[in-house]
C-alpha cells in the first residue's frame, strides 16, 4: 500500500489554501478572484483530507511522514510505534450509509414536488420523473454498499496493514462521491424542470398558432359572405357575429358552415378540439366576428396556463396580432 499524504503535502496544501483564499476574499483583480476560487477550494479539500488521513495513521500507531518519498510511498515502510485494533474506522461506513439515505430523501422530496407541480404535462413530466427517481435509487444502492463495508472480517481501513481484506471507502471517498453525485442529481432535476417548462410554453404557443389559424379562416369566410351579400339570410353568419362555441356545431348544416369546414379542412367542427393541447378536457373553441375582425378563444384552458406561463395568460387571439391577455 502507498502512503497517501505526508506533512509536507498537508503543509503545502494549507499554505496554498490560505494564500488563494486571501486572494478570493480581497478580490483585488477579477482574475485573481477566479483563480482564487478555482484553486483555494481544491487546496482546502486536500488539506482537510490530509488531516483526516493523519488521524487514521495515528490511530494505527504510525508516525506522520514529513516526506513520503523517503519511504518510497509505501505504507509498509513507515515507522509504526504501536499496534492497533482491527477496523477502527468501520463506523465511517455507517456514517456514509446514513448520509446517502438522507440525501436520497432530500432528492425524492424535490422530485415529488416537481411531479405534483408538472403532472399535467403527463408524458414529459413522467419521463423525467422516472429518470430522476432511477438516479436517486442509486443512493440506496450506495447506502447498501456502505452497510456491507461495515463488516470487519471482509473489509479494512485504508491504513490498516492487511492485504487479505478489501479496502473500505474512507470518509474522504464518501464525501467526494456524495458531492459529485449530488451534482449529477441536481443537474437532472434542473434539466427536468427546464425541459418541461420549454415543452409547456411550446404547447401554449402551438395552441395560439392554431387559434390564429382558425381566426384567419373565419375572417376569410365571413368577409367573402359579406362581399356576396349572403349574410342577411344566413343564420350561421348571425350566430358567429353574436359569438358561438365552434366545436359544438359538429357536422356542417348550411352553406356558410360547409364553406368554413372546407376552409378549416375538417369534416366535423368537433375535430378542432383535437388540435389544442392546453384544454381542460374537450377543447371548447369560442369564435366571434365583429367590426370586420374575428376573435378566437379557448374557453377551457388548464389553470396552469394562467399560473405558470411566462408569456400568455389565456389562449386568445384577435385581429392581426396575438393578444397575450396579460
The pLDDT tens digits of the residues spanning 262-293 come to 999 989 998 998 889 999 889 999 999 988 88
pLDDT band at 300 (very low <50, low <70, confident <90, very high): very high
The answer, yes or no, to whether residue 326 has pLDDT greater than 50, is no
Radius of gyration of the chain (CA): 34
Full-model pTM: 0.74
The answer, yes or no, to whether residue 168 has pLDDT greater than 80, is yes
Which range, of 63-72, 184-193, 201-210, averages the lowest pLDDT? 63-72
pLDDT band at 31 (very low <50, low <70, confident <90, very high): low
CA 237 – CA 233 distance, rounded (Å) = 8
Within 8 A by CB and 6+ apart from 233, the residues are: none
Is 231 within 8 Å of 237 (Cβ atoms)? yes
The closest alpha carbon to 161, from 64, 89, 92, 84, belongs to 84
Instruction: Check residue 29 and give its pLDDT.
Output: 54
CA 131 – CA 206 distance, rounded (Å) = 27
The closest alpha carbon to 134, from 172, 189, 92, belongs to 189
Instruction: Check residue 311 and give its pLDDT.
Output: 77
CA 83 – CA 217 distance, rounded (Å) = 90
Q: Is 243 left (phi over 0), alpha (psi -120 to 50) or beta?
A: left
Amino acid at each position: 500500500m502507498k502512503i497517501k499524504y505526508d506533512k509536507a503535502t498537508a503543509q503545502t496544501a494549507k499554505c496554498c489554501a490560505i494564500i488563494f483564499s486571501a486572494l478570493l476574499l480581497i478580490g483585488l483583480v477579477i482574475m485573481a478572484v477566479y483563480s482564487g476560487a478555482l484553486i483555494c477550494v481544491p487546496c482546502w479539500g486536500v488539506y482537510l483530507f490530509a488531516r483526516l488521513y493523519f488521524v487514521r495513521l495515528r490511530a494505527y500507531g504510525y508516525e506522520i511522514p514529513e516526506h513520503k518519498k523517503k519511504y518510497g510511498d509505501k505504507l509498509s515502510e513507515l515507522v509504526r510505534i504501536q499496534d492497533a485494533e482491527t477496523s477502527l474506522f468501520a463506523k465511517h461506513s455507517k456514517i456514509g450509509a446514513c448520509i446517502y439515505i438522507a440525501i436520497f430523501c432530500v432528492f425524492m422530496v424535490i422530485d415529488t414536488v416537481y411531479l405534483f407541480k408538472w403532472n399535467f404535462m403527463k408524458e414529459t413530466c413522467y419521463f423525467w420523473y422516472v429518470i430522476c427517481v432511477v438516479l436517486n435509487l442509486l443512493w440506496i444502492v450506495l447506502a447498501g454498499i456502505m452497510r456491507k463495508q461495515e463488516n470487519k472480517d471482509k473489509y479494512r481501513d485504508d491504513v490498516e496493514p492487511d492485504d487479505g481484506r478489501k479496502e473500505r471507502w474512507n470518509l474522504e471517498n464518501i464525501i467526494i462521491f456524495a458531492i459529485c453525485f449530488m451534482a449529477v442529481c441536481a443537474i437532472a432535476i434542473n434539466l427536468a424542470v427546464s425541459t418541461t417548462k420549454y415543452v409547456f410554453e411550446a404547447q401554449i404557443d402551438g395552441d395560439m398558432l392554431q387559434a390564429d389559424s382558425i381566426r384567419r379562416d373565419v375572417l376569410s369566410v365571413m368577409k367573402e359572405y359579406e362581399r356576396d351579400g349572403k349574410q342577411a339570410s344566413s343564420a350561421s353568419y348571425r350566430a358567429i357575429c353574436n359569438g358561438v362555441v365552434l366545436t359544438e356545431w359538429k357536422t356542417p348544416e348550411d352553406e356558410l358552415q360547409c364553406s368554413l369546414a372546407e376552409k378549416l379542412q375538417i369534416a366535423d367542427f368537433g375535430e378542432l378540439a383535437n388540435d389544442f393541447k392546453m384544454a381542460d378536457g374537450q377543447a371548447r373553441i369560442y369564435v366571434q366576428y365583429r367590426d370586420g375582425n374575428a376573435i378566437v378563444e379557448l374557453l377551457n384552458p388548464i389553470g396552469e396556463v394562467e399560473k405558470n406561463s411566462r408569456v400568455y395568460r389565456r389562449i386568445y387571439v384577435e385581429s392581426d396580432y396575438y393578444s397575450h391577455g396579460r
